[in-house]
Homo-oligomer: A and B are copies of this chain.
């Protein structure tokens, strides 16, 4: 087996670069990740990165596209794996938790991009991701209201905000504890309270 062939086709090299950034973001503040650190982590020289990306910003854009694609796909799969709105919500919640546990750098990158001043392709991608996430949640919540599974007077927009916020709270707790795995255990209790809050 040859773990690291020196020369990689451009698309493979780009994929490896994205993975490197995601892995590094799990260990340090995303905004402090330098191109030198990325290159070192994938055993490449710093300048070589720019053979595949025109700029550092383009790297971030590619990373955010990777995140949006993967996360939304897993949420969608989870949503379709259950057959009642409440079960759908729980599946989506746990799918997101699993994703975050696998890639602890992702929420840091997302929040970091969102609070960036001005606009950038990466920031726009993050905004689109969260917006689409919220819309998907609102749809499930509306369905739950229609089927009588949820409080008919529920504020769906607030409930969607709370859903994402709940996950962020769990992420913050795992940051404080320095233990990524604990998020799985804490997720159950947090979702239980959330479910009571929106149920009838």
A positions within 8 Å CB-CB of B? 27-29, 31-32, 108, 111-112, 114-117, 127, 130-131, 151, 154-155, 157-159, 161-170, 172-173, 175-176, 186, 189-190, 192-198
Contact = CB atoms under 8 A, between A and B. Distances in A.
Contact of A166 (B108, B116, B130, B169): B169
Q: Is the interface of A mostly helix, strand, loop or mixed?
A: helix
Nearest to A25: B115
Given A32-B31, A168-B168, A172-B168, A162 B193 contact: yes
Contacts of A192: 155, 158
Contacts of A131: 176
Given A31-B29, A169-B164, A189 B117 contact: no
A193 B116 contact: no
B190 A161 contact: yes
Contacts of A167: 165
A172 B164 contact: yes
Given A131-B176, A194-B197, 8 more contacts: A28-B116, A111-B172, A114-B176, A158-B189, A159-B193, A162-B169, A165-B169, A193-B194
